Structure 1
């Protein structure tokens, strides 16, 4: 009537795959899609760091060890679950309480639409580190458990070495070299003072 343009809302991005409801315990791929929806909600709300950390996590549901919470139907004895975010050990310290709360809020909204009101809590866990490979003769290899940098060189398995000790990884070698540099610096400084 005024002659001015009329604006209407439209979706900004194409809709992704839909998750059929409800999300059941045996639905293997659905938790990852639910985590993807949580990722997009965090992105929409400007929670950039939480969004990026969620991208590298894996979501599973597990019974929460017998804790019972009031359910919407008033039944206190229904089995309840916890949402478990498993992530790389190096990223675990990045999750602050505020970040976990932001993720929990978005995940709760997603679970509500997937008819999973029984997922009552969020647990953030570091992934288990892989077990070392061993051989049948591990007792007789001659490793001295008191030597921290004592990997054997006899089989030349590519362990990094420097000035005698052999290390389990390049990261251990880097720390050793930094400590050696600090030692040299401290000795030079001590000599100048005396």
Structure 2
């Protein structure tokens, strides 16, 4: 018998062993807890080890299961590390979003606010948790509210990033001029609004080269 044939037979034998173990560890065992599944695995090994004919197969299968367990442990560790990295990156993005020098808002066609950053909440003079459900035009004078609605309508009609000057009226404090820029929300049928102090924009134009 050639070495190639022997290797093929050994490969098939290992495959059969894995299938026999899998057939015992799945099916009805799939609904059991980890302790019950471990008991099933031991029963497979015990059945193989009980016969001199299959004792060697028991050792082979045990080695296969041990290697597989190490692989699973390594994969689980990699998943935990990846999750930790993603959670850290997400926290960083949230911090960056909250501390942007502009107020960032997500509104719908009725001008109802759904999301905002901390800078936006500070601009409106309200708590961040209180903003969702309120309409943005409630913080504008009548003429600014008209311009705001017009800009949102233009974005809905396909305009790219229109902007307008508004008079923002915080809940507590005097009205102040701001510059609002608008865009469509790529992830939903809503609108993104960025609001900056008009005084900051004028200063930027004065010092810009």
Which structure features the higher share of strand residues? 2
Which structure features the higher share of helix residues? 2
Query: TM-score w.r.t. structure 2 length?
Result: 0.22
Which structure carries more relative contact order (alpha carbon 8 Å, separation 6+)? 1
